[in-house]
A and B are shown apart, each in its own frame.
Chain A
Amino acid sequence: MERVVEIVPEAGLHARPAAKFVETANEYDAEVTVAPVEDGEGEGVAASSMIAVTSLGVKGGEEVRLSAEGEDAEAALDALEEVLSTPEEGDGE
């Protein structure tokens, strides 16, 4: 199954949001790939690889296509969508 999600953290899939994303992907029994939407129907990279995910260089406001296969596919997509939709902690005044 597939889902298109907009990246909310302004830094995009950068150090901390990416770490959270990869950590979450590894919690589920599913093969998840992630690809920038603007690349069309590209294959995408493994969501379980921090190197692959950060090297996409996806910025805040851009969309990615998540594809998942396996027992937990739907749960994995829900959790990953949640991660990508949560803004990063900014600071005050």
Chain B
Amino acid sequence: MRTYTGTGVTPLTGLGEVVWYAETVELDDPPEPSEVDPDAERERFESARETAEADLESERERARERVGEEEAEVFGAHVQFLNDPQIADGVESAIGEGLPAEHAVHEAFADSIEQFEGMEGRMAERADDLRDVRDRLVRVLSGSAGTDLADLPEGSVVVAERLTPSDTAKLDPERVAGFATALGGRTSHAAIFARSLGLPAVVGVGEELKGIEEGNEVVVDGEAGEVIVEPDAGARERATAAREVETRSEPVETADGREIEVAANLGTLAELEGAVEQGADGIGLFRTEFLFLDRESPPDEDEQYETYREALSAFPDGRVVVRTLDVGGDKPIPYLDLPESENPFLGERGIRRSLGPDRELFETQLRALLRAAAGEGRLAVMFPLVSTVEELEGALAAVERVAADLESEGVKHAIPELGVMVETPGAVFLAEELAARVDFLSIGTNDLAQYVMAAARDDERVADLHDPLHPPVLRAIARSVEAAHANDAWIGMCGEMAGDPDYTELLVGLGLDELSMSAVTIPAVKGRIVDCETDAADRVASRALDASTRNEITETIDQ
């Protein structure tokens, strides 16, 4: 048994047989120029380019369905690289010099790849994109299909130096037990795809990964970030046991009987099925932005109604918490006049827009929601970025007004459960007053950490500060929980913290009633809840709240 360490990107473990995947096709030396017919090569290149474009379009479609709109757009970039005039010129001149099409493609890409490789950060990733496009063309031209990642034997573990987005999107989570790569980090495309697909995965293992051979039995532990080759009985058992806890379709409780709702965060309807499969009890955060993005005019009331009904019907016994439109300077919507702001996160966003320039949109959304609440299922609606009582009262008044309109029109409707997202320090300090006016609170830890720590979430230079384990954030959470319970409101958490199984015991101890997360982490978190004793969890939470540094809190959790 040998263990390789890398970065785990999903809290999942898989066991299987290694299939080594080499992305690049090795080319033989080119024939003599006199043996090459340039016109024929031009035609071969043109037809390969068309085939590659058609393939990219179908992969874009597949990624859209399986991984989501945003990640699928990487294929849009690939199409542009494929059709780049610089590449076309390079290929043309290499063919003119007597090279066959596949060699010409290699040559045409070489300079650009080198140029991007020398650049920093995200720019260097463009070199990967170019290699991906080049290899796709060469594969089509040389007729070498290579290993078909879409058709691997069941129980395969894919091991590769790197996996491109198109490679990763082909992996079928029903058949593939996981993957490990030498290169890549937590935010690489491969990692993001792994999380969306629910695949055990370890990336960034390094060159040592090459010590693994085709056919070796391996455990891929995406939580510990380990690849175990030829695992002993113990390691194998742990891997299969970890797989067994994977789905609990029923709600769970702690070992001593405290029920904790475990729900999914959802960005599009396409993710509904995955949420049900991973055993979500309901939806704890249904982002409605996707309904409004990428279109020329806002969705009408009926379209929204149908969407909310579809989500509700996927969870006949669970609760579906819909967040009203949360846009601001950081999200583009062509038909909205979104302000330019030096500081979009501190600008007009969330409820501030709903009560201001987007009021009409907000009321249409509320009409659709109130109508949807009248059918089967339990609908809840929450308002984002509330930081004053006036804002909440404004939102509640809008609900009443919409209800009165629907009543007078004789349209069937009901008032859903209503709640507030706790994301700003303002909401934390007002948690009592807010909780007294609604049915529930839901803590968005990503924004809460950003605002409490005054550290932008996407600024890597302050990434250390942007962590919910800093005492001020943890105390803000504890304070919100206390305020909710003192006012007979339930309280959930829908930020990233909720989906990290390492924090589950702490969060149970802090008193959260509901945890909502990416579907893929639900089985692991449910597994932790079942093992949790509330006494022990309370002790962890109270030690963490006494701590004055993040390190002390981290130690508390690790104990």
Considering the complex, which residues of chain A in the window 19-34 have a beta carbon less than 8 Å from any beta carbon of chain B? Answer: 19-20, 22-23, 26
Q: Could you say which of B85, B285, B384 has the most chain A C-beta atoms within 10 Å of its C-beta?
A: B85
| Cβ contacts under 8 Å, A86 to chain B | 332, 334
Asked if A14 is at the interface (CB within 8 A of a chain B CB), the reply is: yes
* A93 with B421, Cβ < 8 A, contacts A15-B129, A87-B332, A88-B332 known: yes
Partner-contacting stretch, out of A42-50, A62-70, A72-80: A42-50
Partner-contacting stretch, out of B114-122, B167-175, B355-363: B114-122
Taking the closest CB of chain A, its distance from the CB of B16, in whole angstroms, is 32
Asked if B126 is at the interface (CB within 8 A of a chain A CB), the reply is: yes
Cβ–Cβ contact A87 & B447, under 8 A:
no
Cβ–Cβ contact B80 & A23, under 8 A:
yes
Cβ–Cβ contact A57 & B289, under 8 A:
no
Considering the complex, which residues of chain B in the window 187-219 have a beta carbon less than 8 Å from any beta carbon of chain A? Answer: none
* A19 with B77, Cβ < 8 A, contacts A51-B84, A57-B119, A93-B423 known: yes
Asked if B446 is at the interface (CB within 8 A of a chain A CB), the reply is: yes
| Cβ contacts under 8 Å, B330 to chain A | 87, 90
| Cβ contacts under 8 Å, B84 to chain A | 49-52
Cβ–Cβ contact A51 & B87, under 8 A:
yes
Residue of B nearest to A61 (CB): B342
Asked if B70 is at the interface (CB within 8 A of a chain A CB), the reply is: yes
Residue of B nearest to A87 (CB): B332
A93's partner among B86, B340, B444 (CB-CB below 8 A) is B444
The interface residues of chain A, by DSSP majority, are classed as loop
Asked if B479 is at the interface (CB within 8 A of a chain A CB), the reply is: no
A interface, size bucket: 20 to 34
A19's partner among B76, B125, B329 (CB-CB below 8 A) is B76
The distance in angstroms between the C-alpha atoms of A22 and B85, with both chains bound, is 11
Asked if A10 is at the interface (CB within 8 A of a chain B CB), the reply is: yes
Taking the closest CB of chain B, its distance from the CB of A61, in whole angstroms, is 10
A54's partner among B123, B323, B458 (CB-CB below 8 A) is B123
A51's partner among B81, B285, B289, B329 (CB-CB below 8 A) is B81
The proximity string for B residues 287-311 relative to A, scoring 1 for CB distances below 8 Å and 0 otherwise, is 1010001000000000000000000
Cβ–Cβ contact A48 & B85, under 8 A:
yes
* A51 with B494, Cβ < 8 A, contacts A15-B126, A22-B80 known: no
The distance in angstroms between the C-alpha atoms of A81 and B79, with both chains bound, is 22
| Cβ contacts under 8 Å, B326 to chain A | 92-93
The distance in angstroms between the C-alpha atoms of A1 and B129, with both chains bound, is 33
The distance in angstroms between the C-alpha atoms of A93 and B447, with both chains bound, is 5
Asked if A11 is at the interface (CB within 8 A of a chain B CB), the reply is: yes
| Cβ contacts under 8 Å, B126 to chain A | 15, 54-55
Taking the closest CB of chain B, its distance from the CB of A33, in whole angstroms, is 13
The proximity string for B residues 70-83 relative to A, scoring 1 for CB distances below 8 Å and 0 otherwise, is 10011011011101
The distance in angstroms between the C-alpha atoms of A57 and B289, with both chains bound, is 29
Cβ–Cβ contact B334 & A16, under 8 A:
no
Known: A51-B86, A93-B445. 9 other contacts (CB 8 A): A14-B123, A15-B122, A16-B77, A46-B85, A49-B84, A51-B112, A55-B119, A87-B329, A87-B331
Q: List 11 contacting pairs A-B, 8 Å CB cutoff, sorted by A.
A: A15-B126, A16-B77, A51-B112, A54-B116, A55-B119, A57-B123, A92-B287, A92-B289, A92-B326, A92-B446, A93-B445
Chain B residues with CB under 8 Å of chain A are 70, 73-74, 76-77, 79-81, 83-87, 112, 115-116, 119, 122-123, 125-126, 129-130, 267, 285, 287, 289, 293, 323, 326, 329-332, 334, 338, 340, 344, 384, 421, 423, 444-447, 458, 494-495
